[in-house]
Structure 1
């Protein structure tokens, strides 16, 4: 008796599968009509790889300032890889009381430009710190504004991340 129930159940399931497969909507079969498409020749260009690292422009020449307006600014990196900073330190000079402003600019190796300045009253040891990178090609520039309003570049150089002197 049990065999009749098992075979009857299997036959019933097969009948359900047969009915389910036959009740789908039949889509009308259409044959596509071939069409002609005008062809054009498109030149293929290949892309060339562009380097992702930005290298700041090569430091250029610096100008000399009159000796009575001369000032000294030292530029160096703090050498810390966690928080790299480029530090501009004012070292004084004959124009310490005459120069109204000193502008500093850092072009980082990733292309970002950071700007800072020192204004009167200038004091020996005064610093400006700008965020740098761990690369050795951060470019530091120092511009002095003369009493006549001229802008003179006195420092333009790469700042090494670390130096072992």
Structure 2
């Protein structure tokens, strides 16, 4: 089944719809979201499954993805968090950012990303096609480690660099 992303201008206004893989190969700017889950001074990270089409095996935030055409950002964030990590919880929109990066596999991420945050203390049940490991990590430890390690996704490093987390 083909998936589609919402193409946007520099101000996050919809300008069209594009097939997901083609949009990534061409580096077309599109709308995305990331979910950051906290538990006190800890952050939930997942290691992206080796089956992922880009950034496989890298550590990333709890969930991320793209809203479907005609799907709201909050609904999309809740959907992907449940699909990826088996988690349902309240989320709050907190920030928007933009980044563009070659993420391997001839894929270019050119995303305007909306960040949703939640506090969570319940069970985690990741889909192995999405995440092959996960854990709660001290925010300060990640903040220190992310500067020198190559095991994190580009976007997670960018969120820390911009002090969004």
Under TM normalisation by the shorter chain, which class is it? under 0.3
If asked which structure has higher relative contact order (CA below 8 Å, sep 6+), I would say 2
Q: TM-score, normalised by structure 2?
A: 0.25
Indicate the structure with greater helix content.
2
Greater percentage in strand: 2
Which protein shows a greater Rg? 1
TM-score by length of 1: 0.25
